[in-house]
């Protein structure tokens, strides 16, 4: 699961011209550390939902990589 | 191109389907009930026209009903035409909350949710898609008995304007077509005298042509309208 999330994050970073991150750091802030805007977060949500059939934004805001992983491993 | 059209089985929705199919597009049609005219279209376009029977007042289940089984992520959606609506015709002092809520579910809440999932589909595929809401001239002129109905369409106009602002940076457009009074089942309860009075308030002195409305929708969906977003386009026989 984490490999797939990493791949999705890097796919979105690549489209923004940002270099790929080598590993997932659970404490990373999606906005501050990964540089995601609200549009990027929307695309992240859509891509994760397409892969895992879970809407990570359904019950409130998600701020960190760790929060995504927690929602996906429920 | 693939387009989702609600209220596809009769009136303006049916005409929109016809125009889009004639232009070679695929239509995912949604309606409460089927109709003979729609069946005829299905026979003419068996590979490009798909139908789903949906009760749009069920806002809670719109995602699973429409976007899981019908317009799934495998379908690249290029546009959503929000045409389905129900009328609630009464004077304000007779307003009933349950009827108001049912109308808002069909006319406003479900279309907003469908817009959410349509944009999500566009995000997944990086599609510069287009959303069209069908409004009503009653928002702008006012008619006795239409305050509640017009308020729901006014909500859509505001929603469209702000959707356009929000998603324009990604090339996603949102516009509203504002038809005048048409000869559809929705206006069938009006008497000839009432209709005559309404048409007298137009420059062309006649009902709005359904085909003209459908052609405007098809134009706004197309690349010909690439620079048009956040607009309300009146197709109303020049209603004064």
pTM for the model stands at 0.95
pLDDT interval class at A73 (50, 70, 90): confident
Domains of chain A and CATH, by start: 2-72 (1.10.1200.10)
Domains of chain B and CATH, by start: 2-234 (3.40.50.720)
How close A41 comes to chain B (CA, Å)? 11
Q: Which two tokens stand for residue B205?
A: 């002195």
Percent of chain B with pLDDT over 70: 100
Inspect the interface and report whether the beta carbons of A47 and B170 lie closer than 8 Å. no
Average pLDDT along chain A: 92
Confidence (pLDDT) at B7: 97
CB B195 within 8 Å of CB B187: yes
pLDDT > 80? residue A74: no
Q: Which two tokens stand for residue B105?
A: 């579910």
CA B55: distance to chain centroid? 15
pLDDT > 90? residue B48: yes
Judged by DSSP in three states, B173 sits in strand
pLDDT interval class at B52 (50, 70, 90): very high
pLDDT tens-digit map of A18-62? 999 999 999 999 999 999 999 999 999 999 999 999 999 888 788
Q: Give the helix/strand (H/E) hosting B5.
A: strand B2-6
Percent of chain B with pLDDT over 90: 90
pLDDT > 80? residue B189: no
- In the residue annotation, B143 being an active-site residue is answered as no
pLDDT > 90? residue B69: no
pLDDT > 80? residue B186: no
Inspect the interface and report whether the beta carbons of B123 and A49 lie closer than 8 Å. no
* Any B CB within 8 A of A42 CB: yes
Inspect the interface and report whether the beta carbons of B120 and A46 lie closer than 8 Å. yes
At CB < 8 Å, which residues of chain B contact A?
A: 73, 120, 123-124, 169-170
How many CB atoms neighbour CB B160 within 10 A?
25
How close A70 comes to chain B (CA, Å)? 23
ipTM: 0.91
Q: Give the helix/strand (H/E) hosting B177.
A: strand B173-179
B73 → chain A, closest CA residue: A50
Q: Which two tokens stand for residue B88?
A: 């609630």
Cα–Cα distance measured from residue B237 to residue B150, given in angstroms and rounded to the nearest whole number: 19
> Rg (Cα) of chain A, in Å, rounded?
11
Cβ within 8 Å of residue B75, ≥6 positions away: B2, B28, B121
* Any B CB within 8 A of A54 CB: no
pLDDT interval class at B143 (50, 70, 90): confident
Average pLDDT along chain B: 95
Question: What are phi and psi for residue B90, nearest 5 degrees?
Answer: -165, 165
* Any B CB within 8 A of A67 CB: no
Confidence (pLDDT) at A23: 92
Q: What would you measure as the largest C-alpha separation in chain A, in angstroms? A: 32
pLDDT interval class at B11 (50, 70, 90): very high
* Any B CB within 8 A of A46 CB: yes
Residues paired with B130 in a beta bridge: B79, B173
pLDDT interval class at B196 (50, 70, 90): confident
Cα–Cα distance measured from residue A68 to residue B127, given in angstroms and rounded to the nearest whole number: 25
Residue among B88, B143, B149, B199 flagged as catalytic? B149
Neighboring chain A residues of B123 at a CB cutoff of 8 Å = 42-43, 46
3-state secondary structure chain A: CHHHHHHHHHHHHHHCCCCCCCCCCCCCECCCCCCCCHHHHHHHHHHHHHHHCCCCCCCCCCCEHHHHHHHHCC
Q: Which two tokens stand for residue B137?
A: 């001239």
């Amino acid at each position: 699961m984490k490999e797939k999330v990493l791949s999705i994050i890097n796919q979105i970073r690549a489209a923004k011209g940002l270099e790929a991150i080598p590993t997932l750091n659970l404490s990373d802030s999606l906005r501050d550390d990964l540089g995601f805007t609200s549009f990027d977060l929307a695309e992240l949500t859509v891509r994760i939902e397409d892969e895992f059939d879970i809407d990570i934004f359904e019950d409130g805001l998600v701020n960190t990589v760790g929060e995504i992983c927690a929602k996906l491993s429920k | 191109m693939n387009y989702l059209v609600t209220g596809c089985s009769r009136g303006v929705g049916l005409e929109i389907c016809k125009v889009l199919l004639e232009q070679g597009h695929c239509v995912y049609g949604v309606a409460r009930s089927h109709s003979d005219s729609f069946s005829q279209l299905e026979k003419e376009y068996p590979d490009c026209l798909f139908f789903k029977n949906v009760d749009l007042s069920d806002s809670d289940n719109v995602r699973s009903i429409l976007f899981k089984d019908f317009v799934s992520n495998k379908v690249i959606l290029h546009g959503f035409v929000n045409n389905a609506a129900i009328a609630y015709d009464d004077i304000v002092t007779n307003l009933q909350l349950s009827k108001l809520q049912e109308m808002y579910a069909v006319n406003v809440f479900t279309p907003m949710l469908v817009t959410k999932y349509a944009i999500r589909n566009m995000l997944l595929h990086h599609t510069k898609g287009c959303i069209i809401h069908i409004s009503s001239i009653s928002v702008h002129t006012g008619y006795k008995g239409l305050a509640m109905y017009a308020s729901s369409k006014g909500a859509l106009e505001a929603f469209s304007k702000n959707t356009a602002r929000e998603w324009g940076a990604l090339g996603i457009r949102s516009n509203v077509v504002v038809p005048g009074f048409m000869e559809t089942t929705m206006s069938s309860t009006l008497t000839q005298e009432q209709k005559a009075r309404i048409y007298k308030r137009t420059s062309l002195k006649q009902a709005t042509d359904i085909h003209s409305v459908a052609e405007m929708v098809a134009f706004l969906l197309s690349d010909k309208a690439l620079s048009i977003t956040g607009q309300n386009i009146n197709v109303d026989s020049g209603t004064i």
